[in-house]
A and B are shown apart, each in its own frame.
Chain A
Amino acid sequence: MSENIKIPTMAEMAAEGKEPEILFWVGCAGSFDDRYKRVTVSFIKILNKVGINFAVLGPEESCTGDPARRAGNEFLFQMQAMTNIEVLNAYNVKKIVTACPHCFNTLKNEYPELGGEYEVLHHSEYLQQLINAGKVKVQDGGEFKGKKITFHDSCYLGRANDVYEAPRDVLKALDADLVEMKKCKTKGLCCGAGGAQMFKEPEPGNKDINIERTEQALDTGAKIVAAGCPFCMTMLSDGIKNKEKEKEVKVLDLAEMLAQQL
């Protein structure tokens, strides 16, 4: 199988005088977080399987600056942004796909003002396109068929960018039994990690936000909580561990679920 896994970098492609159709922006979590690396691999497998002409930046990728900007450090954000834009523009990048809604939002909405104009898609949107185009076909009777699954809307995908249907369409393609939480879509509840909260302890309160959200997810009776964001995945997994339900309830990314069924 190893010959099937191809992860070309932009530098390699450029050396061959080629340009990929899409740049897969892996993101820091997708590169370093052990759990989220599995999502990266799943997405790569899908791209390989479908034969998409893609590349990653590899060692040339860098944090988009999202957490720095949300924490108030505009200088650091803009330095990151301008450095990244220089790299992206040097490779003449046109289209970016990423599995991180924070990277997605920043690349899509905040880079244009600093000179970086790209077509940016979240991997759920891209997967939806592949499914709609018939390029990705789910085998009949996949392991998620009829399974109760609830989708957690990531704020940076949903409210921030109005992407609500794409991830649900992916789950529908898996023939899963999609159940909604008490708070979903525009009313979805944050996992507690956005706005750079991922990188510090929460302020004192009577509960952590991820616990509240986990309770809402568990209330649906779903055995799988689908996520489309590395932060949400960490927060919900921690919440489920806190509730000692990790044996019964799994948190899975859309790409992981789809990759398993191809």
Chain B
Amino acid sequence: MTIIQQVLFVITLGIAGFFVFKRASSIRRNILLGKDAEFNDQKGKRWGTMFRVAFGQQKMFDRPFVGFMHFLIYAGFLLINIEMLEIILDGILGTHRLFVPVLGDVYPFLINFFECAAIGVVLACVVFLLRRNVARIKRFHKDEMKGWPTSDANIILVWEIVLMFFLYTMNATDYLLQEAGDAHYPVVGSFAISQYLVPLYSGLSPEALVMVERSAWWVHIIGILGFAVYITYSKHLHIALAFPNTYFSRLEPRGKMKNMESVTNEVKIMMGAPAEDSGEEVGTFGAKDVKDLQWNQIMSAYSCTECGRCTSECPANLTGKKLSPRKVMMDIRDRAEEVGKNIDQHGADHDDGKSLYGDYISKEELMACTSCNACADACPINIDPLSIILDMRRYVAMEEASTPASWNAMFQNVENSQAPWAFPAADRFKWAEEISNSVDSQQ
């Protein structure tokens, strides 16, 4: 009997592994649709940022209550993964609680600890479900959250609760089987939380108990493997990508806009200075589609958890304008997925006639940004929506030449009178005269 289960388990593991690998490769391919960018600088600072922001959850605690709830899920997830190692090894080897002889007295302590962590997970998931579905928190009900993004969030939360329930069922029936003296179940005693479920199953025969225990075990592990596949389609991918995303986060002052080397060269030529031939082909100025973004910008879209802290801090969004930094990130992900699908179905050169700008993100959204950096500051995993908005504005200005008329007037003023307002350049120092005059007249 166990050998059949072992074979089935290895096959299940293989299937899940295959799907996760396939999805991961396609996500990687989609991310690399973006332009090259290197991040070999300041490695220490990068690791430090990752440790603090992703591993240490620093920015989550900007909102302390939610930060704490999220920490419960996060810590529970990390800890329960240690137990997953045993579960997987047991599945392959046909053993049960493989680590009991190795860990001795520490073993029941660990399992009790995991059970307590799991209760934290359940608690936080319930609170989050209530926040999303009962408390009507504004940012969870913006336009971009209609449909799939909202169900995605609920599916994840319910799934996690169900997984924890099966973990407890497993442990409760396990205890009864220990009591019944089943040789396969090492005696480790009852557990901190699942002991309360024991009465539910105490009337069952040993055979039925084994059935329940095995079923719970299988549902739990298949649930986790299924979850691993599911998250590659879900915003829940942040559990993996938050780490690289924070590693690759910008370390320069937020106010600094990325310099465009290709433009520097042309401006140097215009100004009569010797230009350096970068050998680089000048592609599109600014970003129209995902391929015009840097790869790390696309990766950050896949890392986005759609929590909406960016949007809830965005001054444009707060005052009813169409711009939502969260939607910008969601659009990039959707478009990258669409381009990826096109490549799978029609080959790499297929052009579907669509683009991120226009079909997903409108000019009105882009024009509403005040570049205030509130979105970038609010993101718990250092996503920088502003850099993308500004790259897309560069496309609007330099490729499409369709900036608003008053901006064109401002450009002209800067060009002709060296100020954004139409004052004659010759009057620039007039203020000095004015003071002297006014001071003289006061005497």
Contact = CB atoms under 8 A, between A and B. Distances in A.
Interface of A: 1-2, 5, 7, 9, 26, 28, 30-33, 37, 40-41, 44, 56, 58-59, 61-63, 65, 67-76, 78-80, 82-83, 105, 108-110, 113-114, 155-156, 159-162, 186-190, 192-209, 211-213
B443 A1 contact: yes
A199 B410 contact: yes
Interface in B373-414: 373-374, 376-377, 390, 393-398, 403-404, 406-407, 409-411, 414
Contacts of B410: 67-68, 71, 196, 199-200
A41 B442 CA distance: 15
Contacts of B407: 71, 196, 199-200
B138 interface: no
A212 B318 contact: yes
Given A1-B443, A194-B372, A203-B367, A72 B257 contact: no
Contacts of B432: 7, 56, 58
A65 B432 CA distance: 23
Interface stretch (B217-225, B238-246, B343-351, B415-423): B415-423
A1 B442 contact: yes
Given A1-B439, A58-B432, A202 B368 contact: yes
B323 A70 contact: no
A74 B319 contact: no
Contacts of A197: 370
Q: Give the contact-size bracket for chain B.
A: 35 or more
A160 B415 CA distance: 26
Contacts of A159: 254-255, 372-374, 376-377
Nearest to A58: B429
B24 interface: no
B427 interface: yes
Most-contacted residue by chain A among B266, B371, B404, B440 (CB, 10 A): B371
B364 interface: yes
Contact of B266 (A75, A156, A209): A75
Given A28-B419, A203-B321, A75 B398 contact: yes
B271 A79 contact: yes
A30 B419 CA distance: 11
Contacts of A203: 316, 321-323, 364, 367-368
B172 to A, nearest CB: 47
A212 to B, nearest CB: 5
Given A5-B436, A78-B263, A82-B271, A155 B370 contact: yes
A162 B253 CA distance: 8
Contacts of B373: 155, 159-160
B256 interface: yes
A164 B376 CA distance: 17
Given A30-B431, A79-B271, 11 more contacts: A31-B429, A32-B428, A63-B414, A63-B418, A73-B411, A74-B397, A105-B255, A113-B259, A159-B374, A195-B371, A205-B320
Contacts of A196: 371, 407, 410
B370 A194 contact: yes
Interface string B252-296: 111111011001101110110000000000000110000000000
Given A59-B426, A73-B397, A28 B420 contact: yes
A190 B394 contact: no
Interface in B38-63: none
